[in-house]
Amino acid sequence: MKIALFDYGTGNLHSLGKALAAAGATVTITSRWKDALALDALVLPGVGAFGSAVKSLGSETARVREALEAGLPCLGICLGMQLLFHRSHEGEGKGIGFLSGSVRRLRTHITPQMGWNDVHIAPTGLEPLFQGVDNLVAYYANSYVCQPSDQGFVIATSTYQGDTFPAAVRRLHTWGVQFHPEKSSAQGLHIISNFLRQVCP
């Protein structure tokens, strides 16, 4: 399967690309939306600031959103998950808008959240992204979290210093995770493999 790992100038590409390749994907790193949307699936990496990352969208926001609406599989990680929403308190500019809602700062005394945290998977049927994953503990590096308008998109949550937020969301064939699966040991790599199985069952 051919996976586009989008390079918007701030993402964590090396370790994520290695994790995707180890799971069986042929990875193409690109900053061209035309090339990215022509492959089997899209991965939006984490690390960076919302305002800087949305500049990579340019005039392509509608085109990316339409591709996701049409069923292009996508995995957004950390910042990549946040780009799926309309806007962020972190910076100016509009996100892809595939998921309704916004991105807010963590309501905690200490930010960023750095390190391992429990992920509570919603008990609403079998979610393919988490198939075979029990008692998930994942690695986080974030100061901002997503706030969906529709809580029905939330498939997992985490709590940091009393602030509960979406750890993962899903709509159609698009998933977003606030944690970094590529840095979350064997469980995280299993999640990446689960995503690739949705791309090429």
- Residue numbers annotated as active site: 78, 180, 182
* Rounded Cα distance, 61 and 54, in Å: 9
- Alpha carbons 71 and 166: distance in angstroms, whole number: 22
Residue 41: its H or E element: strand 41-44
Angle, in degrees to the nearest 10, between helices 13-22 and 185-199: 70
Q: For residue 63, what are the CA distances in angstroms to 42, 67, 93, 94, 118?
A: 13, 6, 16, 14, 35
SS3 12: coil
What phi and psi values does residue 80 have, to the nearest 5 degrees?
Answer: -60, -35
